[in-house]
Structure 1
Amino acid sequence: MSEATIRYHTTAQSFERGQDYCRADSVNSLVQRGNTLSAKVEGSEVESYRITIQFDKGGITHAFCTCPYEYEGWCKHIVATLLTCLHQPDQTEQRPELAKVLASLNRRQLETIVQNLANEQPEWMDAVEVQIALLTQSKTQKSQKATRRTTVDSKPIERQVERIINRYVEQWDDEPALDEIREIIQKADKFLEQGDGNNALIILGAIARAYVQDWMNLDGSSGESGIFFEELDGVLTEAMLSTELSESERQQWQKELKNWQKEVDNYGVDSFEMSLAALEQGWDYPPLREVLQGNITELGAWQDEAPQQFSVWKFSCYWAEYLALDPPA
């Protein structure tokens, strides 16, 4: 990391203000744990801004500040943190990564830590319950091949999404909240990779249900909170095309998706077009079969206007998985 690199990722004004903060010793609680750097920077508010910076051998991969800055490049607080690390390396406290710390503890000590944290931060209990449900389900899948399988509880996931949104209500930047929700989506992806589309749908349904209810509590000025519906639609579509649903399950999902769509229609959001099409058309949809046989028109696999965010190639990949073949190159 050099000053030239920092300048490249920020504006001249933010760099200058960051220098001022650095010289004024406004950066404190500077801690490095593995590839993560955290700090607090005193600013115009009573509470210090919190900085989180992640990096790898190639450089910085993620930089986040709790300040409301939403313009070009890194904010002055991130700049101040990096300049302090660069010019005052002795200010950075080196601490072991969490994994190493936990490895030295026994089961009872770990249980005590989790219980104490849950008591001090009640909202953490939802995240703990989600992790327990996911770990238990994964273990059950590996040890049992019976037709009947345990299912993930959707309620803790809904509460977790609600708490994530509520935590960022007064923030101008929606991306941190959306990134946390994406981490939950990744858990659904793991179930899909294991061939468990049912539990993936439970997780994704819980996320969508809570998001539809509370998304307007986010700032929304950047438009990212509305665009996020496209991501939800995409992963729901993948899960639905990867799961054998009964007719009653299909009807229930159609009903819920249409209700969600009605909730957001007034805001100009086309939220669940692909997933509804996947439910209604499935693999037996004639235009889709034409595409998979190589007869591709401008509309691809759609009779009417094609959803822009879903490609023919992706449909082909799912079809290849459906037939247990390699996807097309």
Structure 2
Amino acid sequence: MQIPLNEFEQIIEEPILKRGLSYFKSGAVLDFLEIAKEEYEAVVSGTENYMVQLKIKNNTITEYYCDCPYDLGPVCKHILAAIFYLKQDELHLNEPKLKKVRKEKTTSVAQQIKELLKTISHKELVEFVLENSKKDKKFTNVFLASFGHLSQTQSKEFYQNQIHSILKTAAGRDGWIGWSDMKYVVNTTQPFLENANKFLANTNYENVFFISTALLEEMTEAFQFGDDSNGDLGYFIEMAMELLSKLAQEKLPDTLKQEIFEYCISSFNQKIFEGWDWHLGMLDLAVDLIKEESDANIILDCLETVSGKYEIEEAQSLKLDLLRRFKEEAEVEKYINRHISNSEIRKKEIEIAFKNENFKRVIELAIDGIKQDEQDKPGLVKVWYNWMLKVAQSQKDTPRIIEYSRFLFINNFYPEQDYYQILKYTIASDRWNDFLEDLIKELSTKKRWSDDELIRKIYITEQSWDRLFLLLKQNCSLESIKNNEAYLSTDYKSELIQMYSKRLIAYVDKYVGRNHYQTACTYLRRMKKLGGNEEVNNLIALFIKQYPQRKALLDELSRV
């Protein structure tokens, strides 16, 4: 994201903002250089010294970087410390060590390296690389990842060995790639993807195949000895599969197309990726590489060996696609009828029937789906009802539009269409209020949280603020007050302030810890915005009197 300098305190999350300010005030910004117009480099002290870079255009930070391992959000505390340093005069902050942004008197690190490269001889550079390759495995891995694509002896094994070395180096002596080690894996492996995309653009398809398959195999294996809580290994697998998919769409030489097809089949048969989505994905990829019916038969034979409930259903859908392409219509029809209980096949058949305006077929399949799935798969029941609604809409069948929309509004919390608006548009205006009252009455008897939300939606849509306020009183929590504040603040400002006050007293009494105190203070600020300054001051005085030992609470209250 971009960070406007005059609004950064409003758009950055408060915890990170506070940490950044604390770092700045403690003198963690050790150096701050303007290396070019509106480009800055800072050294910020943390667990170690970190390099922060900022680029600014039109008083907005357009690019920012820190080499710390933080990845729980877009901006770390070191970047915030540098921003506070940059804005210290405008914010009237007293930074303890450095007083001004100083213009760089010497060249930046990058500029120094550029100057040195002009003077170092080719022989000296070669010796330096060779010497450091002997001493530093990480240096070797980075070098090969960056320049290995220039080698004349490339193969899948060539890339696989390099990626394997990166992973083993990251694993270290204990054989486990920890969360912090993954950053090295990502940074060192990323060049393989970059080079593969260059190969793809330059029609060097064979090397794309080599890199993709090497990444797939090594990253799949790495799940056994790596912490993938950030999804880094999964990212490389996803990108490798995407590259292979793009490759399959290109006009490949027949020999390479056959090689990729055989790899897909052999990797499936050898179960290299068994247990992962891309195991069956290999056959899906092979479908795009089919040259003749004999290839389709090979895939069909593989699909017959698939086990596992969900895998079998996915395989059935893939098999149907192949049958449509290569087999007689009678065989296709027979297969569909035998496997229509597969929801994906049913969906596909409904889509085809609807597109061909075979509405009778759509209704038959949808009703059958409802009967089959109403006990165990209520989510699918809504899918089938939605198709019946689409048919009713196409046929302008008003009674059924109302029937299906009403059912879907009540029972579908993640709607595919706006069923409420469909109902309002369809039902005559003189009948609308009576219809709504019946709907609200039915929802009120169910006593489900989702039904209360639907009633709330009705009141908001119809702007029934009195009834919304009564609903809030029945289920009044700090969160629900906040969620309804925008709709009720005009007519019920004082009541909302009193609601906040009563529940904040109970909240602070019950919960202990800075996070809870920060939450309480957030609601105090909301009370202030509603005009409850006196009530807020009274609450702060009450909390200070009742909880003088809670230093973190007193600290947070001082910021309100």
TM-score range, shorter chain: 0.5 to 0.7
CA distance in 2, matches of 1:112, 1:271: 43
CA distance in 2, matches of 1:188, 1:212: 19
* Paired residue secondary structure (1:4): coil
Is 1:129–2:144 an aligned residue pair? yes
Distance change >3 Å, CA 155–CA 84, structure 1 → 2:
same
1:113 is matched with which residue?
128
* Paired residue secondary structure (2:191): helix
| Partner residue of 2:267 out of 227, 233, 256 | 256
1:151 is matched with which residue?
154
CA distance in 2, matches of 1:123, 1:174: 13
1:16 is matched with which residue?
18
| Partner residue of 2:277 out of 264, 270, 273 | 270
2:394 is matched with which residue?
none
Distance change >3 Å, CA 99–CA 161, structure 1 → 2:
same
| Partner residue of 2:45 out of 35, 42, 46 | 42
2:85 is matched with which residue?
84
Matches for 1:176-191 after TM superposition, within 5 Å = 177-178=185-186, 180-191=188-199
Distance change >3 Å, CA 256–CA 41, structure 1 → 2:
farther
Report the Cα offset of residue 121 of structure 1.
1.8
* Paired residue secondary structure (1:123): helix
Report the Cα offset of residue 280 of structure 1.
3.8
Distance change >3 Å, CA 175–CA 250, structure 1 → 2:
same
Report the Cα offset of residue 234 of structure 1.
0.8
**Taking CA–CA contacts closer than 8 Å with sequence separation of 6 or more, which of the two structures ends up with the larger relative contact order?**
1
Distance change >3 Å, CA 169–CA 42, structure 1 → 2:
farther
Residue pair 1:65, 1:77 contacting (<8 A) in 2 also: no
Distance change >3 Å, CA 278–CA 119, structure 1 → 2:
same
1:293 is matched with which residue?
none
Residue pair 1:21, 1:77 contacting (<8 A) in 2 also: yes
Q: What is the number of residues matched between the two proteins?
A: 273
Report the Cα offset of residue 169 of structure 1.
3.5
CA distance in 2, matches of 1:219, 1:230: 17
2:321 is matched with which residue?
303
Distance change >3 Å, CA 236–CA 42, structure 1 → 2:
same
Alignment RMSD: 4.2
2:416 is matched with which residue?
none
Structure 1 stretches lacking a partner, 5+ long: 138-149, 287-298, 307-329
Residue pair 2:265, 2:286 contacting (<8 A) in 1 also: yes
Higher alpha-carbon Rg: 2
Distance change >3 Å, CA 17–CA 59, structure 1 → 2:
closer
Residue pair 2:32, 2:101 contacting (<8 A) in 1 also: no
Residue pair 2:209, 2:260 contacting (<8 A) in 1 also: no
User: Can you list the C-alpha shifts for 1:86-122, whole angstroms capped at 9, x where unaligned?
Assistant: 5542287741434454233221232233234324422
Distance change >3 Å, CA 51–CA 9, structure 1 → 2:
farther
How high is the sequence identity, in percent, across the aligned residues? 14
Structure with more helix by fraction: 2
TM-score computed with the length of structure 1 as normaliser: 0.64
* Paired residue secondary structure (2:23): helix
Residue pair 1:154, 1:206 contacting (<8 A) in 2 also: yes
Residue pair 2:55, 2:62 contacting (<8 A) in 1 also: yes
CA distance in 2, matches of 1:39, 1:257: 51
Distance change >3 Å, CA 220–CA 36, structure 1 → 2:
farther
2:451 is matched with which residue?
none
CA distance in 2, matches of 1:49, 1:218: 27
